[in-house]
């Protein structure tokens, strides 16, 4: 397994900014699912993430968290209702956004930290399916954790986490930092699964 990141050393603002940046990489997965399945509304997730970014940039703007969580609830897909893989990363994006909103509401960094786990979990599950298909063609049966950890996509996920934390550690808690984080995670126009959007 990849070594744990030094999340404990981050302030609540930094935790929140880190989670927002990771969500920028997860939202395209929801959008692609939503368009393919004709379900949900990416605008709900996009607007909520924008609200949190604004809160980080401008200070204590008021967010009605209960109302936002209710709106989010309405667009969360039920995996039993869809028979293709895209529903899983879409669900992860919703769960991650829910964790972010709840964590800010409760001033709870550990809840916000779930976003990183959900992002990595999304990549891990995608790789399990991808490798299972590849291994089947090669008559190899077992996928072990090492196969997943060493895959370039998982390496990229871990490197992105580290890059974001390094940037946060040396930056001020202001709008400029938010803009740097957003640029870092969106300039390649790839979701955390490496899918172009």
| 99 located within any domain | yes
| 1 located within any domain | no
| 135 located within any domain | yes
| Total structural domains within the chain | 1
pLDDT at 56: 97
pTM above 0.95, yes or no: no
How far apart (Å, rounded) are the C-alpha atoms in residues 97 and 48? 8
pLDDT at 139: 64
| 81 located within any domain | yes
Digit-coded pLDDT (tens) for 43-73: 999 999 999 999 999 987 899 999 999 999 9
pLDDT at 143: 80
| 4 located within any domain | no
pLDDT tens digits for the chain (197 residues)? 444 456 778 999 999 999 999 999 999 999 999 999 999 999 999 999 999 999 999 987 899 999 999 999 999 999 999 999 999 999 999 999 999 999 999 999 999 999 999 999 999 999 999 998 877 666 666 788 899 999 999 999 999 999 999 999 999 999 999 999 999 999 999 999 999 99
What domain range includes position 133? 11-186
Residue 161 is part of a domain; what is its CATH number?
1.20.1590.10
| 86 located within any domain | yes
Neighbours of 88 (CB within 10 A): 19
| 3 located within any domain | no
Residue 107: CA count within 13 A, CB half-sphere: 1
Q: Any idea what DSSP says for residue 191?
A: -
| 28 located within any domain | yes
pLDDT at 140: 63
Q: Where do runs of H (alpha helix) occur along 38-77?
A: 42-58, 65-74
Please provide the distance, in angstroms rounded to a whole number, between the alpha carbons at the two ends of the chain. 29
How far apart (Å, rounded) are the C-alpha atoms in residues 91 and 94? 5
């Amino acid at each position: 397994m990849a070594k744990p990141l030094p999340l404990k050393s981050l302030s609540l603002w930094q935790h929140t900014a880190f989670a927002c940046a990771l969500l920028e990489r997860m939202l395209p997965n929801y959008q692609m699912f939503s368009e393919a399945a004709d379900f949900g509304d990416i605008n709900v997730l996009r607007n909520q993430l924008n609200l949190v970014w604004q809160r980080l940039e401008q200070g204590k703007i008021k967010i009605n968290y209960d109302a936002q969580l209710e709106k989010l609830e309405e667009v969360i897909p039920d995996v039993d209702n869809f028979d293709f893989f895209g529903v899983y990363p879409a669900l992860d994006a919703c769960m991650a956004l829910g964790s972010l909103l709840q964590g800010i509401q409760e001033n709870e960094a550990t809840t916000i930290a779930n976003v990183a786990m959900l992002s990595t979990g999304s990549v891990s599950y995608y790789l399990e399916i991808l490798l299972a298909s590849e291994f089947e063609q090669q008559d190899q049966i077992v996928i072990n954790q090492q196969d997943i950890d060493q895959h370039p996509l998982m390496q990229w996920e871990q490197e992105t986490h580290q890059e974001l934390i390094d940037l946060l550690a040396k930056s001020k808690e202001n709008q400029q930092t938010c803009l740097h984080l957003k640029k870092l995670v969106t300039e390649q126009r790839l979701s955390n699964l490496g899918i172009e959007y």
